[in-house]
Amino acid sequence: MALALLGGGFDYSRAAQDEFDDWYDTEHIPERLRIAGFINGVRWIGAANPKISLAIYDLESLDVLQKPDYLAVSPAHFSPWATRILIGQCKRVCRFNCVQITPGDRVAPANARGLFVSALNVAPAADAEFNDWYNSEHLPRLAAIPGVICARRFTSPGVGHKYVATCHLTSPEVCESSAWRAAAATPRAQKFLPHLSGQLSLVLRRYVRTISLPA
């Protein structure tokens, strides 16, 4: 069975930095990593806007999200702390529940310091050709760029963006390189632009806590 990905992104501009970090670091991520089937979890922040926060988790499968342990901490059962921060002080940027297409069984590398995330929808008439191009040309080109550690692709069986791609990087600056720009601007890539919608692109750096966790 293919691995899966859970992701949640927020703009927390209205939240207090120290409390948001405390909540994420001491409650939100730990309570998920205690659930069987969660392989890892890493938080990222926007390279240009550090008030953008994205956490992504590799899962053994999407079935993990139907387990009682996960449902107990899902949005319908958020703690008072989570509700106050997320509902009252944050704006959701994205939510991903998706299955890994390519390579299918790759776990996120632990040594990445940067992350690129692309999410989008494709018009049905262009879907087959888009997938052929992405799998046979675009993703391999991205994976070959110096500084790209791992390139993966996902699809969502439910609502939200149909396709998600992640590139784990040595640093966010990889996305500013000439090799990156060349890979993103091929004639075939430009051809698909009229058929895309809901496009979201995020360039992020790995979150590093700068103060000690509460005792």
Span of 49-53, 84-88, 107-111 with lowest mean pLDDT:
84-88
Question: What range defines the domain where residue 96 resides?
Answer: 4-206
Instruction: Indicate whether 211 belongs to any domain.
Output: no
Phi, psi of 114 (to 5 degrees): -135, 160
In the chain, how many domains are there? 1
Average pLDDT, the chain: 94
Instruction: Indicate whether 64 belongs to any domain.
Output: yes
Query: Tell me, what CATH number does 155's domain have?
Result: 3.30.70.100
**pLDDT, tens digit, 9 for 90 and up, residues 93-131:** 999 999 999 999 999 999 999 999 999 999 999 999 999
Instruction: Indicate whether 214 belongs to any domain.
Output: no
Smallest CA-to-CA distance from 85 within 176, 138, 11, 183 is with 11
Task: Give CA–CA dist 170/37, Å, rounded.
Answer: 27
Instruction: Indicate whether 213 belongs to any domain.
Output: no
User: pTM for this structure?
Assistant: 0.94
Q: Which long-range contacts (CB under 8 A, 24 or more apart) does 75-83 make?
A: 79/27, 81/23, 81/27, 82/23, 82/27, 82/28
Instruction: Indicate whether 63 belongs to any domain.
Output: yes
Instruction: Indicate whether 28 belongs to any domain.
Output: yes
Instruction: Indicate whether 215 belongs to any domain.
Output: no
Which pLDDT value is given to residue 147? 98
